[in-house]
Amino acid sequence: MPITEILSRNANLYGNDVSLIEINPEILEKREITWREYELIEPNTVAQFRREMTWREFEEQANRFANLLLTRGIQKGSKVAVLMMNSLEWLPVYFGVLKTGAIVVPMNYRYTAAEIKYCLDLSESDALVFGPEFIGRVEAICDQIPNVKQRFFVGKDCPSFSESYEYLTARCSIDAPDITLSDEDNAAIYFSSGTTGFPKAILHTHLSLMSACLTENNHHGQTKEDTFLCIPPLYHTGAKMHWFGSFLVGGKAVLLRGVKPKWILKAVSEEHCTIVWLLVPWAQDILDAIDSGEVKLEDYQLDQWRLMHIGAQPVPPSLIHRWKKVFPNQLYDTNYGLSESIGPGCVHLGTENIHKVGAIGKPGFNWEAMIADENGSPLKQGEIGELVVKGPGVMKCYYNDPEATAAVLKGDWLFTGDMARMDEDGFIYLVDRKKDVIICGGENLYPVQIEDFLHGCEAIKDVAVIGLPDKRLGEITAAIIELKPNSNCTEADIMAFCSALPRYKRPRKIIFDVVLRNPTGKIEKPKLREKYCGGSLVAAETNN
């Protein structure tokens, strides 16, 4: 069943019930008023701080956008890119694209203008929906994306090079378009990358999306009464696919725009959230804020918070033990996945297996997994090999890249690139990553991109970028820099040079040393990691 039918069913069954809530607490903080006082202030500020949408409004807005796209020639096989911050409009836009039979292409809001163009070209996108935060970046590439013929702006004061989403959709029908969809139809392209740093376009079908709903609901037993707090970006396969378990049964989502501990706890308290998916830094920050007295648990209503699950990067067991001391009555789970496996859930720990914290768990609902050697043959218990998975959420292919597809899809098995072992009880533990991608605060950073940039510094002879363990972020980027002879370049000089990079890509540590390379000229990153962080990075979770 195509996932769009779940939205239509929810609108029919629960039309007047709230489906989505958007909260932007920064609006209140700038006005120096408390969360509880927001209803006492001017209506315009209230609308900016908290907006909500019923299931019927969700369905109608998705239908309006679908009908608009159809009038502009968007059809099956077309691609519509979405470049927006989390907002009340994001999911209706997403489902509106799906209702036309076109392929929705969510894009990372951290992309530079050049990266946006690259991904639009790679996915062969025909249209772009973007928000106010991206006006400058989109304007910079307007003349370079002639194939993106339709550009829709979500927000006020529409720029001249786009059209107003709000104005146009208000004039479109609320009736569902007469488009027949099947499980096998292409539905979405998500972006990932390997160690080269160049994004790959991951193509998924409606079957993949629907499988995420079923897997997640099986793992965590969501009901209509559950409220899911969604903090991570919706362009990612992580949090959205977790909410799909609630979406399946008409459970609402709260979209929180901000990650401060007091904002998270207030959202849980005020919106009566029952399920929260966190990244390691956010969980760490919450615990630190409690320990420091910055937040006091007695100020919040948290008894209804039944499940905290975590993912997208290595999860330190010590963090979970600490969390359970503060929240002993909460269930905990960790989830492993990749964008190529429609996000988290192909392996998960299970709330009943807290005694196995440190493992990523067992194969998820409707999934199979094994540890394989270089030939794809299963290894014995305890032996280290590559984790491979099989299930209904495996990608169809890397779009227009048969060579890359063949490298990771072998029969029905997806080769994850992660090295792992299985214990005597069938629980899987990650040992190291085959890829060199650095996961910092849940975001993938690609060493080659940073290395290529640093090579532009005249004082640098050679450079290698690796990840170092970090208590809060999981990993941080470290640049091992070999200077040219007689250079007196300092760490401050390197940091100043890196100011041209987006902030999240800048190295957090500079190490002046010789860059180790093997006889064929390849950087020996395993040896560098051994030297600077004492060996393999033991991981509890990866979500590439």
pLDDT per residue over 55-80, tens digit each?
999 999 999 999 999 999 999 999 99
User: DSSP label at 353?
Assistant: G
Kindly state the percentage of the chain with pLDDT values over 90. Answer: 69
| Three-state secondary structure string covering 461-520 | EEEEEEEEEECCCEEEEEEEEEECCCCCCCHHHHHHHHHHCCHHHCCCEEEECCCCECCC
pLDDT attached to residue 427: 96
User: DSSP label at 336?
Assistant: E
The end-to-end CA distance of the chain, in Å, is 27
Residue type, 503: R
**Mean pLDDT to the nearest integer, 485-489:** 87
pLDDT attached to residue 441: 84
Distance CA(302)–CA(330), nearest Å, equals 10
pLDDT tens for 174-192 read 999 999 999 999 999 999 8
pLDDT tens for 418-458 read 878 899 999 998 875 666 778 888 777 877 778 878 988 98
Residue 23 has pLDDT above 60, yes or no: yes
Distance CA(105)–CA(351), nearest Å, equals 33
The CB density around residue 66, as the number of other CB atoms within 10 Å, is 28
Distance CA(385)–CA(421), nearest Å, equals 7
What mean pLDDT value characterizes the chain?
A: 89
Q: Which of residues 48 and 221 earns the better pLDDT score?
A: 221
Residues 6 or more apart in contact with residue 304 via CB below 8 angstroms: 272, 273, 274
pLDDT attached to residue 484: 85
| Three-state secondary structure string covering 27-82 | HHHHCCCCHHHHHHCCHHHHHHHEEEEEHHHHHHHHHHHHHHHHHCCCCCCCEEEE
pLDDT tens for 85-114 read 999 999 999 999 999 999 999 999 988 899
Residue 374 has pLDDT above 90, yes or no: no
Residue with tokens 């960790």: 334
Burial (CB count within 10 angstroms: exposed 0-12, middle 13-18, buried 19+), residue 334? buried
Burial (CB count within 10 angstroms: exposed 0-12, middle 13-18, buried 19+), residue 522? exposed
Write down all domains in the chain, each with its CATH number in brackets.
4-258 (3.40.50.12780), 330-433 (2.30.38.10), 446-533 (3.30.300.30)
Residues 6 or more apart in contact with residue 37 via CB below 8 angstroms: none
pLDDT tens for 204-249 read 999 999 999 999 999 999 999 999 999 999 998 887 899 999 999 9
Residue 360 has pLDDT above 80, yes or no: yes
- The CA-based angle 61-241-113, given to 5 degrees, is 70
Residue 195 has pLDDT above 70, yes or no: no
Q: How many CA atoms lie within 13 A of 170 on its CB side?
A: 6
Judge if pTM exceeds 0.85: no
- The CA-based angle 271-272-276, given to 5 degrees, is 95
Contact 478, 466 (CB under 8 A): yes
Kindly state the percentage of the chain with pLDDT values over 70. Answer: 91
Distance CA(280)–CA(297), nearest Å, equals 20
